[in-house]
Amino acid sequence: MAVKEVLLYPDPRLKEICSKIEQIDATVDSLLQDLVDTMVAAGHSVGIAAPQIGDTRRAAVVDVAKSKLGKKQKNHGLLQMVNPEILEKAGDQVVREGCMSVPDYTGNVNRAERIVIQFLNREGQLQVIRAEGFEAIAIQHELDHLDGHLFLDRISSLKTDLFRRKQK
């Protein structure tokens, strides 16, 4: 469909809680395709959520398969998620995260090592999957966006856990 402009922090739309999608129709299909197109066009992204392109519906996409960390671990490839919900979390790890909406910084964030998630796929079918490692981290990051949270909100100390990205 289209590559969309990614909203940047501190845009207030990034803090909005997204609404549940009641019916998968052509507008949802278009939203998912816009998310995929925008993620792919970024070149380095492994996920994006609807509020990052200014849409307040509960939809996100994740694909870690082509990333350096994702290639090392089993993953599910392209996930196109409508109304995703984490059912279980296990383990605990601190990871360095970045975000297209906060392009100048990365930060240390505490995430679950393994999750079980349910969502509707693009065809409206209920999916329940187990994810671990980098894929689980990416999914948790994108689902935070649906609840109005950025990785900045999960950093325990801005003084010790927030880092300016090196400019290329």
Model confidence pLDDT, tens digit, residues 33-91: 999 999 999 998 999 999 999 999 999 999 999 887 777 788 999 999 999 999 999 99
Verify whether residue 142 is a known catalytic residue: yes
Closest listed residue to residue 135, CA positions, set 149, 117, 153, 159: 117
Q: What is the CATH architecture of 12-164?
A: Alpha-Beta Complex (3.90)
Q: What is the pTM of this model?
A: 0.96
